Amino acid sequence: MKIGTWNVNSIRTRQPHVIDWLNTNSVDALCLQETKVIDQDFPKSPFEELGYHVYIYGQKAYNGVAIFSRQPLEDVTTGFTPIVGESLAEEFDEQKRVITGVCNGVRIVNLYVPNGSSVGSEKYDYKLRWFKVLKQYLTKFLDESNQELCICGDFNIALEDKDIYNPKSKENHIMSSPLEREALQDILSLGLKDAFRKFTSQGGYFSWWDYRSGGFQRNRGWRIDHHYLTPKLYKKAVKCTIDIEPRKLTKPSDHAPVIVEF
DNA sequence: ATGGCGAATGCAATTCGA
């Protein structure tokens, strides 16, 4: 079983790239972030024609997540609210960042973590508080079932210095600040592990490069798109790779897809 | 430090992303 994650930075703009990629990469499920489209305008049929069931949770202009799955998903829910309740989640579900469903007994949780803008900003505070609700959300799934979890998406955090091209200049930068890393570590303390790091301990592997200043050409990247797995699934993982090919195309997303295989 | 680029909105210039 292969599960991909890809921040496409607009599904309507990236539709040809995603179709081409799916035609040459046989994933069982693909988690998308930053679809940037309301549900009624999501281009579902091109992906259904490729044999995928399409589950979407979008909004106008910003954010938006989707899961494409070869098998129908069970128990699909969107947002935090159905899991943690309205009082905790209300503020956060205005932004469409969370969708989950069960595929072959594995619960896939697809996340688009808030960017945070800059350290100390209001959006940064929002990002840190978003993680506290995420912990409540994931705890429900971990406590109330013995399902295995694959939590993937754009985390907007590089967990270690080796996940950044030039860490010395990023010591208190957005996506690598100590409080952000603590927030993500607190999630991992639930018993989750980074699939990519099962196979690759070296640095220099990135999943996002800034459009500006020739970031990709100069390989000035960050590894911020991840798959986090519960212990049994982590043991079963046989591969986790970043496919930088789509990032080389004209009009690319600024992120590359990442694929885990069990 | 700043600005660089790209997408959406909506039709020019601004907001947002990371």
| pLDDT digits 0-9 by tens, A77-114 | 999 999 999 999 999 999 999 999 999 999 999 999 99
| pLDDT digits 0-9 by tens, A193-239 | 999 999 999 999 999 999 999 999 999 999 999 999 999 999 999 99
Which run of H or E residues covers position A75? Answer: strand A74-78
Counting Cα atoms < 13 Å in the Cβ hemisphere of A136 gives: 15
Q: Residue type at A27?
A: V
Asked if the model's pLDDT at residue A59 lies above 90, the reply is yes
User: Integer distance in angstroms from CA A40 to C1' B12?
Assistant: 28
Catalytic residue among A52, A112, A124, A234: A112
Q: Which of residues 63-82 of A touch strand B (CB under 7 A)?
A: none
Which residues is A29 bridged to in the sheet? A3, A69
Tell if A196 CB is < 7 Å from nucleic strand B.
no
Q: What is the dihedral of CA A84, A87, A92, A94, to 10 degrees?
A: 110
pTM exceeds cut of 0.95: yes
Percentage above 70 pLDDT, chain A: 100
| pLDDT digits 0-9 by tens, A122-171 | 999 999 999 999 999 999 999 987 899 999 999 999 999 999 999 999 99
Instruction: Give residue A57's pLDDT band: very low, low, confident or very high (50, 70, 90).
Output: very high
Active site residue A154: yes
Residue A208's nearest nucleotide, by CA–C1', is B18
Domains, chain A, ordered by start: 2-261 (3.60.10.10)
Asked if the model's pLDDT at residue A23 lies above 90, the reply is yes
Structure tokens at A157: 């955090």
How far apart (Å, rounded) are the C-alpha atoms in residues A69 and A53?
5
Active site residue A228: no
How far apart (Å, rounded) are the C-alpha atoms in residues A29 and A187?
23
**Amino acid A19: pLDDT:** 98
Asked if the model's pLDDT at residue A72 lies above 90, the reply is yes
Q: Where are the alpha helices (DSSP H) in chain A?
A: 11-24, 45-48, 81-84, 86-93, 122-144, 178-188, 196-199, 231-236
Tell if A163 CB is < 7 Å from nucleic strand B.
no
